[in-house]
Amino acid sequence: MGATQLPTPGINGTGLDLQSPAGGASSDPAAEMIQLLGPDGKLGTDPVFSDYAKRLEPEQLRGFYADMAKVRRFDQEATALQRQGELALWVPLTGQEAAQIGSGRATQRQDYIFPTYREHGVALTRDVDLAELLKLFRGISNGGWDPTENNFHLYTLVLAAQTLHSVGYAMGIQRDQKFAEANGSNDPKAAVVAYFGDGASSEGDVHESMVFAASYNAPVVFFCQNNHWAISVPTEVQTKVPLFNRAKGYGFPGIRVDGNDVIAVHAVTEWALEHAREGRGPVLIEAYTYRVGAHTTADDPTKYRESAEEQAWRGKDPLDRLEKYLRNEGLADEAFFEQVRVDGDKLAAHVRSTTQNLKGPDFRESFAGVYAEPHPLVAEELAWFEEYSAGFEGDHEDGGK
Amino acid sequence: MTTMTIAKAINEGLRASLTNNPKSLLMGEDIGPLGGVYRVTDGLIRDFGADRVVDTPLAESGIVGTAIGLALRGYRPICEIQFDGFVFPGFNQITTQLAKMHSRSGGKLTVPVVIRIPYGGGIGSIEHHSESPEALFAHTAGLRIITPSNSHDAYWMIQQAVDCTDPVIFFEPKRRYWLKGEVDTENPGPASDPFQAHVLCEGSDATIVAYGPLVPVALAAAAAAEEDGHSIEVIDLRSISPIDFDTVTDSVKKTGRLIVAHEAPTFGGIGGEIAARISERAFLHLEAPVIRVGGFHMPYPVAKVEEDYLPDIDKILEALDRSLAY
């Protein structure tokens, strides 16, 4: 079902025909929420996704745990840094570690990621130095890292804008692959992951991105982290139907996965990425999860939700359940968990010291990036600023006025 | 040297860009088999295929947003927005994303996207089909905005827009689409820098600055003034952002008087920016205040009365009279 059954528009006489989906059956694997690892730490089965889970080596499972623990520790440290006045704002991710580590670890190096602004866990899986992430929140950069280095795009604060960029980027991949195939290249096929939240799902750009992705069969995986709250507004105000159901209306598969189950998230994302890379079109994944903390350090969840709800979700904690599983199956011992704690503290110390040493740029640098090519107005204003600044140069020598 | 309309010149310019740059592609509604509502892309899908001339879903934010993604992947998308008044659903993507991507990334990312917008009135059309929103874009740093007024410029400037590493808004004077003019397809000549203004005719008594659809009006007004014994210099601005203030300043230092004419409302418009800059740069040379001729502070009026709204020869001559009276 899904995109493969859509009529394929074609224009006669064109060289490349990127609009025709490749053949092969694509099946919407499930209508219900996919869960493999339950809150009790027991591994269940699923007719499609158990096969993906079986591929995982114990080393990878331990890695998932270590990643989740690391990014949670990082989150705590960043929150503390904000409270201490070192950051202007922080966007906590606690509760969403499985959704991010599971999906991030399912991507391959050639895939390109468009995050929103809470994807610190995904950044970790893409080898972005987490201290770099804090530049944005410290107010010293509007970006912070080189997106081309790890195929991890800049954070986007305007909700959902990046979902369209992801589709365009995926359309570029399609074209590159056509060029590459024509030249006999065997480069691994790539796909794009677009992250957004349940709040952003109300934005028109999400709708338009899904229309475009379906129309051009673009290799993009839409990864919606439904964390239940758009600042203070609940998901029920965003949608009347489960979000993953919307995919059906666009003509591609939608899957709801337990977003606190790192094994299921990894399996589902691997499936979706394979689907996209093989030319079978987009997939929407709804990771059903919960933002345990505030939306940002600027809001106060006690004003808009019951603590009982938070407590209920703490019972589904993604780290706890994987820890239970690893211990029950004898895949990790106390020494491992101790090492994870030590590594977390090390990361936190690195982030703290790096952040405190991150100095603001010289204001003159702000002139440099406005345009890629020389621009007379920018040059004129910079020259004025230099002259104006020069007028103050003697002041300090005169006694520090 | 060959003669063609502005619409045909843009078509040929796009054809040259598609031929010269395999990473360029056109995107927009109805630009494929129909060739665009103004037929500016006529015949291009036949020669370059549906992957280079992409008929998109009807969604302006989608067109601009996916173009940004394509540019991030190394492509050079050229988007068509069907009419001026329909650019606003894409305004968010243009101003918050396209304009800022280079700066936010510390120069690591470039987004060489061109957005073509047929603009301006005078074609007797209905609501949202006759607007001049250039000032809204000019106020946003990171964008470049150019507009041709003749076929030769149209042919070269669209190609220069595609070659530019920065995002470019390319405003097309739609009521001049059928204006014919000579095009030298071998040599851009003085049009080699699209961000430079051109002095179209020299004079000594006053300067008229215009761009896009009002350039022929300004030239006609200058000719009429000449019959009354006044020598008028006419400048085609060509680039709205950046503005070539050097050319305008030099002219005003010579003539001492400046009229700026555009179709957009005068309030908060490009004319005000030019007036302010020139008063800073050439105050002691001015014999009269800079006078703006433009639209009123109202939504673009219905077609039956648009002639009263639009700057014409008489309105420019009235402004000249006022200026010369000082």
**Residue A22 has what pLDDT?**
34
Average pLDDT, chain B: 98
CA distance B60 to A334: 56
The pair of three-digit structure tokens given for residue A206, joined into one six-digit string = 């999400």
Distance between CA atoms of residues A389 and A83, nearest Å: 34
Between positions 35 and 74 of B, the ones with CB within 8 A of A are 45-46, 49-51, 56-57, 59, 61-62, 64-74
Using CA atoms, how far apart are residues A86 and B65, in angstroms rounded to an integer? 34
Instruction: List, in sequence order, every residue forming a beta bridge with A287; answer none if it has no partner.
Output: A225, A257
The pLDDT of residue A396: 60
On whether ipTM exceeds 0.85, the answer is yes
Is the pLDDT at A62 greater than 50, yes or no?
yes
| pLDDT band at B149; cut points 50, 70, 90 | very high
Q: Confidence class of residue A16 from pLDDT cuts 50, 70 and 90?
A: very low
User: Is B65 within 8 Å of A176 when comparing Cβ atoms?
Assistant: no
Count of CB atoms situated within 10 Å of the CB of A250: 22
Catalytic residues of A: 291, 295, 304
**Residue A397: its pLDDT value, please?**
54
pLDDT tens digit sequence for B84-143 = 999 999 999 999 999 999 999 999 999 999 999 999 999 999 999 999 999 999 999 999
Residues of A in contact with B50 (CB under 8 A): 10-11, 14, 16-17, 19
- The whole-number pLDDT of residue A32 equals 84
Q: How far is A127 from chain B (nearest CA, A)?
A: 18
Q: Which two tokens stand for residue B295?
A: 């639209």
Per-residue pLDDT tens over the stretch B192-231: 999 999 999 999 999 999 999 999 999 999 999 999 999 9
What is the rounded average pLDDT of the residues A323-342? 98
Share of chain B above pLDDT 90, in %: 100
Q: Encoding tokens for residue B109?
A: 């990312």
For A71-104, write each residue's pLDDT tens digit. 999 999 999 999 999 999 999 999 999 999 999 9
Tell me the mean pLDDT in the region A198-224: 98
Mean pLDDT for B304-311 is 97
- pLDDT tens-place string over residues A276-332: 999 999 999 999 999 999 999 999 999 999 999 999 999 999 999 999 999 999 999
Task: Give the max Cα distance, chain A.
Answer: 79
Active-site residues of B, by number, are 129
Token pair of A139 as six digits? 């107010």
CA–CA separation, B114 vs B156, rounded Å?
A: 14
Q: Model confidence over A354-395: pLDDT tens digits?
A: 999 999 999 999 999 999 999 999 999 999 999 999 999 877
Contact A11 B32 (CB under 8 A): yes
Does A212 contact B59 at a Cβ distance shorter than 8 Å?
yes
Look up residue B201 and give its amino acid: C
Instruction: Reply yes or no on whether the pLDDT at A9 is more than 80.
Output: no
CA angle A374, A380, A381 (to 5 degrees): 110
> pLDDT grade, residue A186 (50/70/90)?
confident
Q: At what angle do helices A262-277 and A318-328 cross, to 10 degrees?
A: 100
Say yes or no for a CB contact (<8 Å) between B96 and A158: yes
Pick the closest to residue A10 from A21, A19, A1 (CA basis).
Answer: A19
Is B51 in contact with A178 (Cβ distance < 8 A)? yes
CB-based contacts of A33, cutoff 8 Å, min separation 6:
A256, A257, A258, A288
Rounded alpha-carbon distances, angstroms, from residue A344 to A66, A267, B117, B221: 9, 26, 53, 75
Contacts of A349 (CB under 8 A, 6+ apart): none
Residues A194-208: tens digit of each pLDDT: 999 999 999 999 999
Q: What are phi and psi of A288, to 5 degrees?
A: -85, 105
Q: How far apart are CA B43 and CA B56, in angstroms?
A: 17
B144 forms bridges with which residues in the sheet? B168
The CB-side HSE value for B1 (13 A sphere, CA atoms) comes to 4
Cα dihedral sign for A266, A272, A278, A282? negative
Residue A27 has pLDDT above 50, yes or no: no
Q: Reply yes or no on whether the pLDDT at A7 is more than 60.
A: no
Whether B30 contacts chain A with CB within 8 A? no
Mean pLDDT of chain A: 91
Share of chain A above pLDDT 70, in %: 91
Nearest to A259 by CA among A226, A298, A289: A289
Q: Phi first, then psi: what are they for B183, rounded to 5°? A: -130, 130
pLDDT digits (tens, 9 = 90+) for B42-78: 999 999 999 999 999 999 999 999 999 999 999 999 9
pLDDT for A12 equals 32
Pick the residue with more confidence: B325 or A186? B325
